[in-house]
Amino acid sequence: MKTIKRVGILTSGGDCPGLNAVIRAVTRKAIHRYGYEVIGIEDGFDGLVHNRHRKLTDQNVSGILTLGGTILGTTNRANPYKYPVTRGTNTTYQDLSSTVIKNLSKLKIDCLVCIGGDGTLDTSYHLFQQGIRVIGIPKTIDNDVKGTDITFGFDTAVHIATEGIDRLHTTAESQHRIMILEVMGRSAGWIALYAGVAGGGDVILIPEIPYHLSEIAGHIKERKRGGKKSTIVVVAEGAKPIGGDVVIQRMVKDGSEPIRLGGVSFVIGQELEKLTGIETRNVVMGHLQRGGSPSPFDRILGTQLGSKAVDLMVEGRFGCMVGVKGKDFVEVPLSKVAQGSRLVPLNHLLIKDARDLGVCFGN
Ligand code: F6P
């Protein structure tokens, strides 16, 4: 097998707290332990299409552990297999994977570490099938990548959303209102579930459990009769009513996933106010959940995933993603990862525990 001298690393898709911890771990271990050279590719696969990269050294990954975002930049609009090329007002989509492969070869990159969500890992798998030696590392605040129990970024997002709920409690209580907090989670309700339970939410709505507004309104009225002055509703952006659909905020041109959700809290808020007669306000947490410094847990997880990725490359285990199973770090074939999202199972213990405590899931 060809020995490794030079490693490429890129971050692709949406950013996420903990990416820099991974970049730092891969770079430091590759340099110190194995004497490899590390090349940071800028802005995900875009940097491989347009040859934008820089050498990573011990010095330039110093001090980044605590930084949110990614020092390499990222984009979710540069799938090399469906790359948008705009001439004038006309955009066509071209397969530029051969350009990427040529540029990797010119750069003499022996192994490419791709840090991203399901879209990025899918692209990485295709590159692997075309002969590129790839190792994947899962990232997303949504915690919904298949093949791993947890992704870094999730813990930080849950902390931020929980703090939001904590703050809403006092204002809701003081003014006897329903307060609705909308959190991220397109198809998986992990953030809503965990932050909802951690923050003592009274109603938690997740995409996996379609809701019935009259059910929620009934629950809130019952709470009022029991002397509760306020209600906190935590809703994932991808939550939808039984038989209904998600609320779309905008369509993103050129993205591999064009739909951007948002606004379900406004819709629910208006309806609940009508149905209960209780004044209602809503807050959309949005990108606050993705920004800022990663939690200690995410720094550690990112560091360990980066370290394990280097182990896999040294052992020649290409075409795999590093995943977490229980307390272990495992290798997962990329072919198994790129198949949709990891949803909250309906029999998840936390749903049962929350229900037993009187939390309403809208059904
Ligand atoms: O996948 C992570 C995520 O944060 C989703 O929860 C959210 O719907 C989406 O990204 C937002 O993407 P953008 O940054 O393009 O608005």
Q: What is the CATH number assigned to the segment(s) 6-152+294-337? A: 3.40.50.450
At 193 the pLDDT is 98
Q: Does an H or E element contain 36, and which?
A: none
Which residue owns the Cα nearest ligand 1 atom 7?
Answer: 184
How wide is the angle at C-alpha 149 spanned by C-alphas 333 and 132, nearest 5°? 25
Give yes or no for residue 121 having a pLDDT over 70: yes
pLDDT at residue 58 in the model: 96
Q: What is the mean pLDDT of residues 272-293?
A: 98
Q: What is the DSSP letter of 105?
A: H
pLDDT of residue 339 exceeding 90:
no
Q: Residues 6 or more apart from 360 whose CB is under 8 A from it?
A: 202, 203, 204, 215, 216, 219
Ligand 1 center from residue 252 Cα (angstroms): 11
In the reported structure, the alpha carbon of residue 34 is separated from the centroid of ligand 1 by a whole-number distance in angstroms of 36
The helix (H) or strand (E) run that includes residue 333 is strand 328-333
Distance, CA of 20 to CA of 292 (rounded, Å): 12
- Does 186 contact ligand 1 (Cβ within 6 A)? yes
pLDDT of residue 2: 67
The residue type at 231: T
Q: Which residue out of 15, 46, 142, 202 is catalytically annotated?
A: 142
User: Other C-beta atoms within 10 Å of 88: how many?
Assistant: 5
Domain chopping of the chain, boundaries: 6-152+294-337, 155-291
- In testing the pocket of ligand 1, which one of 186, 237, 249 has its CB within 8 Å of the most ligand atoms? 186
Q: In this predicted structure, what is the pLDDT of residue 245? A: 97
Ramachandran angles phi, psi of 57, nearest 5°: -125, 170
201 lines ligand 1 (CB under 6 A): no
State the Cα–Cα distance between residues 321 and 308, nearest whole angstrom. Answer: 10
Same fold, 6-152+294-337 and 155-291: yes
Q: Whose CA is nearest to atom 10 of ligand 1?
A: 14
142 is catalytic: yes
**Is residue 254 pLDDT above 80, yes or no?**
no
Cα Rg, the chain, nearest whole Å: 22
Mean pLDDT across the chain: 96
Dist. CA 205 → ligand 1 center (Å): 18
Q: Is the pLDDT of residue 119 over 70?
A: yes
Options 3.10.290.10, 3.40.50.460, 3.40.50.720, 3.20.20.70; CATH of 155-291: 3.40.50.460
Residue that wins the pLDDT comparison between 87 and 349? 349
Q: Is 347 left (phi over 0), alpha (psi -120 to 50) or beta?
A: alpha
Mean pLDDT of 31-55: 97
Given a cut of 80, whether residue 259 has pLDDT beyond it is: yes
Whether residue 1 is predicted with pLDDT greater than 70 in this model: the reply is no
pLDDT in tens, 205-226: 999 999 999 999 999 999 999 9
Cα(14) to centroid(ligand 1), Å: 6
Task: Please check the confidence at residue 52 and state whether its pLDDT lies above 70.
Answer: yes
The stretch 94-123 carries a mean pLDDT of 96
Q: What does the pLDDT read at residue 252?
A: 87
pLDDT band at 4 (very low <50, low <70, confident <90, very high): very high
CB distance 197 to 350 below 8 Å: yes
